[in-house]
Structures are given as C-alpha cells and as structure tokens.
C-alpha cells in the first residue's frame, strides 16, 4: 500500500528555495510538507556547500565602505550583463524586482535570522567586453552558505508554528497529480526502500533545483553552442540530485521550460580530492596574479585571461582552445594571498567563524588552504625551477598535449620583466587590470603588489591544471511574477509553483546569459518568499 500524505502546501525539494518558502508559509499559518530526496545531513541542498556570497544593492556594508550603489545602477549593470532577448519579459521583470528589493526581501530577512556578512564587500564580475558590476556587491556570509542554511533551519525549528512543518527525507517526488485541470498532489518513491507514496495539497511548490548535476547528461544535451564545443572533461560542481527529473514531468503536464541551454559554468575546476560523485569537482577562485595558460603552456592571446572579469568569457575561451583545459602558474606567495575555493568545505576559517584565524589569513595568507590543496589535489604540482615545473606539467597533461617549453619560459619571463620594470611601464593587459583592481581597498588587501612568477623568494612554483566545471542552470520552468508555473500558451497551471534554480531563479531565466554573482542564493530566497505570499494570500 502506498503511503499517503496531505498538507496545505507541499514543497518538493529542501534546498534554500524550499526552506525559505516553508519558513514564510508556516509564518502565514499554513501547514507545510517538504519532500526531500536526500538524507537529513544534506538538507539545504547546494546552499549548504556554497560560499554564501550574496548580491545586495545599497547595503549597510557597502555604505560603510563608501560604495555608492543604487537599484538604477544595478539594473543597468544587470541588463548589460544578461543580454536579455526581446521576449525575455518575465526574466527581465524578476531581475528588476531583485535589484529593487534585495535589501527588503533578502538582506533584511537574513538579518532577522541573525545572518551576518563580512565587512568587506567583494567586487566580482567586472565584465570584459561588456559592463558587469560597476561597484562591489558580493557580500560573503560569515559562516558561508552553511550558516545561511543553519539559520533558516533554526528559524523553522524554533517557530511557534513548528508543528505545522513536516520534512520527509528520502522521498523523491516524481509525477504531479492533475485532477480537473488542477495540480492537486505529487506521487513518488522513497529513495531508501523504493516504496511508493502520494501526497496531496492545495498548492505544490517545485523547489527541486537545476539540471547541472546528476550525471551531466542534460548539461551535455543542452550545451550552449556559443561556448564552443562541449569539453571532453567536464567536472560536476553541483549535486547528484540536480537531475531535472521534476522539470521533465512538469513539461509532460504542459509546463513551459525555457533557456535550458543557459548554464553557469566555471573555468577553474579541479578534481575533488574526496569525490562523492562521478567527475566531482571543486571550483577555485583563481589568483589574479597567476598566469593563466592554455593546454600547451602558453598564455591566452591577444588578451590574457584574468578572473573576476567575465566568467562566461573565460569558459568560452577555454572551450574554444585546443585541449579545452588550462593551467594556472603561480608561486607560494601568490597562492597563499589570492587562492580561494568557492565552497564552504575548504574556506574553513569563514565556515567555522574563526575570527582571529580569518584575520591572520587575510593579513599573512591562507597557508592551511594551500598546503591542503597541494597535499590532496592531483591537479597541483610544485617545483623549484620553471623547467622542473614544465616537466611536472607535462606528466599531468591530457593525452596528445605537451607543454611548449620555449614558449612557456618566454611567456613567464616576458611577464616577469614587465613586473620588474614597474607600474609606469606596464603594457601587459593583466598587469593593467591588476593595477585597476588594486584601486579598490577591498581588492588591495587580497591582491599581491605586482608579483613576479619566477621569484625565488616566493618559491615554490606551483602549477594547477584546471577544467571546466558545471555548476548552475540559468534556465528552467517558466513562472509568472507570483512564481506560478506557466504553460506554453502563457496560462498558469493552477496549483503549481516553481522557485529557485528549478525556475531559472525566477521567470525561467532571471540571469539571461550571465550572473553578476551572488544572485543565485538571493533569487532562491526571493522566489521562495514570493511564492509563499502568493499561496497564502490566494
Ligand atoms: C560549492 C558551491 C558554491 C556556491 N556558491 C554560491 C555563492 O557564493 N553565491 C550564490 O549565489 N550561489 C552559490 N552557489 C549556487 C547556489 O548554492 C544554488 O544555486 C542554490 O543553493 C540552489 O538552491 P535551490 O534550493 O534552488 O536548489 P538545490 O540546492 O539544488 O536544492 C534542491 C533540493 O531538492 C532535492 N530534490 C531534487 N529533486 C528532487 C525530487 N525529485 N524530489 C524531492 N527532492 C528533490 C535535492 O536533493 C535538493 O536538496 C554555489 C553552489 C555550490 C555547489
């Protein structure tokens, strides 16, 4: 006999979007049942693993750092970066709601849950051939994304209406139940026992995440041709249940899926030292003072690759280069000051809220992280000379590729000669970019002051082999401004809502082609809260 459940609202997926919706819904007096495929220790989905960087516009942290921002400026940046198509009406509207309400809907909501942010706002995605963030907007959560999830869970479990919330783990939602044109429930199976279940409610909210995890087959199927061809090695930076199962079934029930070919991949992925799934990857935040080299060991030309510019452009250039992977060449001094990992598991001082250690690492460098990566990662090699380094890179090169020794030595020496010549003689685009980055106080503290690569005082030399890493789906289920799922004809599917990554973070693709960063977690909260209000107020 299949188990039967009922509630006012059923949420399929207990990631940040699902939990945010649940929190507001029980506040509105609704009974909520969350169906989550995963185990209790993974509740919170990707947010639990995330860095916890959020985009806010006009925050107290920005003001304290004398950063002048406004919804108008952010809206202009977002449109420039997104390259929305003419018919992206709903994605555009959602984006506008984000920039106009990021403080009230997201920042204040998190603050009420005692979430706090580092005092220095980061300046991500400056843009490359189109404008990205005109000002710093990326607020890192003290405690990383892990702290966000813990704060939302605490809010749920301490809530006076706690009894109205039930979370069932190992429950995989599969098929919406449609009766008389209304979605009234969802059927599925338990992951652990295989038993069948059905669940019924007045409203069903899909919060099951994107398609950029699972076995990556959907990422390959919907590969964006603008990026060039699919790389032969593609690392998985998402989770095993981000397989788009619910998107497929919603589409069978007439729900519209849009922008499935828009993904947010990262250019500096390494194999996860402790893999939990096939091709599991870690995304590095690449040092800007490192040289970014193609598979052959030469710098990308005519413009060198530098992170914090335009992630889509970095990915595209690497996908279009022979080998479709890259190297970063640096030294110990650069690594301890500039290298970071995007994720809670490796940024342990922030994750564990160790204030003194964090300050020490900011001032003296993060030796613990670099030592750990050098010890654990198969993609790191180190050496005491450039020719020894090139030899070790050769051993790690993909079949059919070798380091062009002469070219490699020339590129490093040319760069180092420019550094030695001094700032007034810089012609190298990377050095000019670094000089520009260093004008911002928040970047100066995280950047070396024009550091040579082949500098014995900064040894050992380090090379990192990097692959494209798949992380987030920018498209998904099309929703209206109340998070209701829309059909191909534009009418809503009564009773059905979609939020977070499942809904392309709002409207089926709030980001267009690019994200200004920190907009993923933020949009999960925004879309989850909008759905909760729409359901509660009818
Ligand atoms: C390492 C890392 C770092 C990141 N850093 C940042 C950052 O700094 N800033 C930022 O904005 N974003 C960041 N992100 C992205 C962000 O974390 C995600 O986009 C966001 O958390 C997605 O939330 P979600 O609730 O929509 O989906 P998910 O987190 O994917 O949650 C979906 C949940 O649904 C469950 N599920 C799936 N299918 C079913 C089903 N059929 N039935 C029942 N349950 C199901 C899953 O198990 C999962 O728990 C990062 C992501 C990662 C992995």
Dihedral sign for Cα atoms in the order 70, 71, 76, 82: positive
Q: CA of 125: how far to CAs of 115, 287, 434, 462, 464, in Å?
A: 24, 14, 14, 25, 22
User: Which of 515-525 are b and which e, b meaning 16 or more Cβ less than 10 Å from the residue's Cβ?
Assistant: bbbbbbbbbbb
Query: CA 284, CA 267: separation in Å to the nearest integer?
Result: 9
pLDDT at 58: 98
DSSP β-bridge partners for residue 175: 187
Ligand 1 pocket check for 532: Cβ under 6 Å: no
Q: Which residues pair with 9 in a beta bridge?
A: 32, 203
Name the closest-CA residue to atom 38, ligand 1: 208
Cα(368) to centroid(ligand 1), Å: 27
Residue 320: CB atoms within 10 A of its CB come to 11
Tell which one of 52, 102, 143, 209 to mutate to probe ligand 1, the residue whose CB is within 8 A of the most ligand atoms.
Answer: 209
Q: pLDDT tens track of the chain, all 538 residues? A: 789 999 999 999 999 999 999 999 999 999 999 999 999 999 999 999 999 999 999 999 999 999 999 999 999 999 999 999 999 999 999 999 999 999 999 999 999 999 999 999 999 999 999 999 999 999 999 999 999 999 999 999 999 999 999 999 999 999 999 999 899 999 999 999 999 999 999 999 999 999 988 889 999 999 999 999 999 999 999 999 999 999 999 999 999 999 999 999 999 999 999 999 999 999 999 999 999 999 999 999 889 999 999 999 999 999 999 999 999 999 999 999 999 999 888 999 999 999 999 999 999 999 999 999 999 999 999 999 999 999 999 999 999 999 999 999 999 999 999 999 999 999 999 999 999 999 999 999 999 999 999 999 999 999 999 999 999 999 999 999 999 999 999 999 999 999 999 999 999 999 999 999 999 999 999 999 999 999 999 8
Whole-number Cα distances in Å, 503 to 27, 202, 217, 255, 499: 23, 20, 19, 11, 5
Write the residue with the smallest CA distance to atom 13 of ligand 1: 50
Over the stretch 335-386, which tens digit does the pLDDT of each residue have?
A: 999 999 998 889 999 999 999 999 999 999 999 999 999 999 999 999 999 9
Q: Which residue carries 């204040």 as its tokens?
A: 108
**Cα 242 to ligand 1 centroid, rounded to whole Å:** 8
Ligand 1 atom 52, closest CA:
50
CB 448 within 8 A of CB 221: no
For residue 523, which atom of ligand 1 is closest to its CA?
Answer: 11
Q: Is the CB of 51 within 6 Å of ligand 1?
A: yes
Of all helices (H) and strands (E), which one includes residue 62?
helix 60-64
């Amino acid at each position: 006999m299949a188990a039967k459940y009922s509630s006012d609202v059923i949420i399929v997926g207990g990631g940040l979007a699902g939990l945010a919706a649940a929190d507001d819904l029980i506040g509105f007096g609704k009974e909520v049942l969350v169906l989550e495929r995963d185990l209790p220790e993974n509740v919170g989905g990707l947010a639990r693993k995330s860095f916890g960087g959020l985009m806010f516009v006009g925050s107290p942290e920005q003001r304290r750092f004398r950063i002048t921002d406004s919804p108008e400026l952010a809206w202009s940046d977002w449109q420039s970066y997104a390259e929305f198509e003419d018919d992206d009406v709903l994605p555009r509207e959602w984006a506008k709601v984000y920039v106009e309400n990021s403080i009230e809907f997201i920042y204040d909501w998190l603050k009420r849950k005692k979430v706090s942010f580092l005092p220095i706002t980061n300046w991500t995605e400056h843009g490359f051939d189109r404008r990205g963030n005109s000002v710093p907007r990326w607020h890192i959560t003290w405690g990383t994304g892990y702290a966000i999830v813990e704060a939302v869970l605490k809010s749920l479990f301490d809530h006076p209406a706690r009894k109205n919330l039930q979370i069932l783990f190992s429950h995989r939602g599969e098929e919406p139940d449609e009766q008389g044109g209304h979605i009234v429930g969802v059927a599925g199976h338990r992951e652990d026992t295989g038993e069948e279940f059905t669940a019924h409610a007045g409203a069903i909210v899909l919060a099951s995440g994107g398609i950029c995890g699972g076995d990556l087959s959907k990422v390959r199927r919907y590969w964006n041709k603008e990026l060039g061809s699919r790389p032969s090695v593609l690392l998985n930076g998402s989770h095993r249940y981000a397989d788009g199962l619910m998107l497929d079934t919603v589409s069978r029930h007439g729900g519209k899926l849009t922008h499935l070919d828009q993904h947010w991949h990262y250019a500096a992925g390494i194999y996860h030292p402790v893999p939990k799934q096939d091709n599991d990857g870690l995304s590095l935040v690449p040092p800007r003072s490192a040289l970014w080299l193609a598979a052959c060991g030469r710098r990308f030309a005519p413009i060198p690759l530098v992170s914090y510019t335009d992630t889509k452009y970095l990915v595209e250039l690497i996908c279009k280069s022979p080998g479709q992977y890259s190297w970063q060449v640096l030294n110990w001094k650069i690594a301890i000051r500039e290298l970071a990992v995007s994720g809670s598991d490796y940024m342990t001082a922030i994750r564990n809220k160790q204030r003194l250690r964090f300050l020490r690492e900011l001032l003296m460098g993060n030796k613990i992280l670099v030592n750990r990566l050098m010890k654990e990662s198969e993609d790191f090699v180190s050496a005491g000379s450039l020719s020894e380094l090139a030899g070790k890179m050769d051993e790690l090169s993909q079949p059919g590729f070798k380091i062009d020794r002469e070219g490699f030595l020339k590129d490093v020496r040319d760069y180092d000669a420019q550094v030695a010549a001094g700032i007034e003689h810089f012609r190298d685009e990377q050095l000019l970019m670094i000089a520009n980055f260093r004008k911002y106080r928040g970047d100066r503290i995280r950047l070396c002051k024009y550091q040579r690569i082949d500098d014995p005082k900064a040894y050992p030399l380090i090379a990192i082999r990097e692959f494209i890493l798949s992380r987030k789906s920018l498209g998904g289920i099309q929703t209206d401004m109340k998070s209701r799922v829309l059909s191909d004809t534009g009418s809503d599917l009564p009773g059905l809502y979609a939020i977070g990554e499942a809904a392309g973070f709002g409207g089926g693709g709030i980001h267009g082609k690019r994200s200004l960063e920190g907009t993923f977690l933020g949009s999960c909260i925004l879309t989850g809260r909008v759905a909760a209000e729409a359901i509660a107020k009818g």
